Amino acid sequence: MPTYILFILCAIILALCLAVIIMLPWFRYQAESRNDNQLLALNIDVFKQRLAELENDFNEQQIDQATYDSQKLALERQLLDINQSTSVHSFVPNFKSRLIFIIWIPFLVAMAYYIIADRSETFKLWQSQDHIGKVADDLLTGKISTPPESAAKDAIGLINTMQTNVHHNATDPMRWFRMSEIYMALEAPEQALEALARAYRLNPDDEKIAITYAQTSFFAQGGVLSQNIRQVLQKVLANNPTHQGAQMLMVMGEMKDGNYAEARKWLNIVKQAILAKNGDHSEAVKSLADLEKNINEREAQSKQAIIVQVNITPTILGRVKKGDTLFVNIRPIAGGVPVVAKKISADDLHKEGLSLKISDIDSIMPTALLSQAIVSGQQLGITARVSTSGDAMPQSGDLTSNPVPLDVKANSATVLIDKVVP
C-alpha cells in the first residue's frame, strides 16, 4: 500500500478514536442518569410508606393535628430536596448529535492539518520512496553503480530518498561513504565531508574510508592538516606504512604547516618507494624534485616570517564554534586589497591565543609580496577575524579585531579579537 494512502487511513482512524474519546462522558451521563432515576423512585416509595404510617397514627389519634401537619410538611420538603439534587438541567445527547461529532471532529482535524503547514514536500518524498526506494537502496549498497533512466529523471526525489535511506540505516558506514560520493558529484563538499566523518567514526579501520576522509578534509581546508586528520593519516600509516596517498598528504600538510624538515623526510620516503619499483619512473621522480624545490623555496621565504599572536577576549571566546575559520590579513592602512590573507581553522584558538607565522608564502599575488610591501615603506595593518561561514568577506556575527599597525623593525605582532561584527 502506498505510504500516502496508509498515512491518510491512520489519520482517519486516529480522528475517529478522538471523537469516541470526546463522547465518552455522554455515555457515562446516561448510566448516571439511570442511577439517579432509580434513587428518586426509591425515595418516593419511602416517602409514600412514611406518609401512610403518619396518616395511620393520626387516624388512631396517636398524634394531634399540629404534629401531623408539621411531620407531613417535613417529609414533603425532604422529597423536594432529593428531587432537586438529582435533576440535572443539561443537554441530553441522542444518536444524531453523536453522529455530528463523529463527522465533524475528523473534518476539523483535517482542516487544521491542511491550514497549519504545507505537507506537499513530505507527500512528494513518500511518493519517491514508493517508486524509487529500491533504486536508492541498491545505489547505497553497491548493487548498482548508476540509476536507471526512469529514476534519473527524478533527480531531486532520488537524492532525497537516498538521504532518508542513509538516516534510516545510520549505522552502516558504507552507505555514508557512498552518499559522500554523491555529494561530491553534486559539488557539495561540506555535506560530503560530514558524511565521510560519519562513515569514519563508524568504521575507522577501513583504509578506503579513512584516506578519502583525509583527502577531502585536507583540500576542503585549503591544504591544512588539522589535528584530527593528522591522527587519521597516522593510523593509516601505522597499519600500512607504504601507503603513498597518505605519505603525499603528509608531505603537503607538513609543507603547509611550515615543518619543512618533516616534509622532506616524507618526500624522501615516497621517492625511495618509487625507485624501488621496476620500470621507468622518471616523470614521477621529476615531479618529486619540483616539489622538493618548492619546499626549499618556501623554507627560505619563511625565514623572513612575521610571528603573529592572535588573542581573543574571554567574553566572546564562547562564540567560537568547532569548524569556524580564522582569517589573518595584512593590508595597507590607507585601504586597498590585502597583501596577505592567511586562512586557517579556528579550532586551536583558545583563551591562551594562537601563534602563527606569516611570510611571502601567504602573499595573495606573487608579484606583490609581503617583503616587497615592507621594503617599499607602506604602512601596513594586521587584522584577525573568526568567521562561521568561511567567507572571505565579513559577515554579521563574525568576531573581529581592530587593525594593528605593523612595525617593520619588529618580527612579531599581537592582535586582539574583541568585538562582534554588527
- The full set of domain ranges for the chain reads 3-116, 241-303, 306-420
Mean pLDDT of 304-324: 89
Q: Apex CA 337: angle with CA 376 and CA 301, to 5°?
A: 55
Bigger pLDDT: 272 or 33? 272
pLDDT of 90 over the 80 cut: no
Whether residue 313 contacts residue 417, with contact meaning beta carbons closer than 8 Å, is answered with yes
Is residue 152 very low, low, confident or very high in pLDDT (cuts 50, 70, 90)?
A: confident
Task: Note the pLDDT of residue 82.
Answer: 61
> Global pTM?
0.61
- The listed CATH number (1.20.120, 2.60.120, 2.60.40, 1.10.3470) that belongs to domain 306-420: 2.60.40
Reduce the DSSP state of residue 357 to 3 states and report it: strand
Q: Of all residues in the chain, what percent carry a pLDDT higher than 90? A: 34
Task: Note the pLDDT of residue 89.
Answer: 47
Q: How far apart are CA 257 and CA 218, in angstroms?
A: 12
- Which is it for strands 325-332 and 380-387: parallel, antiparallel or unpaired? antiparallel
User: What is the residue-averaged pLDDT of the chain?
Assistant: 83
Mean pLDDT of 39-46: 64
Q: How far apart are CA 197 and CA 141, in angstroms?
A: 18
Q: Which of 85-94, 136-145, 157-166 bottoms out in mean pLDDT, i.e. has the lowest?
A: 85-94
Q: What is the DSSP letter of 90?
A: S
Reduce the DSSP state of residue 413 to 3 states and report it: strand
**Straight-line distance from the first to the last Cα atom of the chain, in angstroms, rounded to the nearest whole number:** 53
pLDDT digits (tens, 9 = 90+) for 244-262: 999 999 999 898 888 889 9
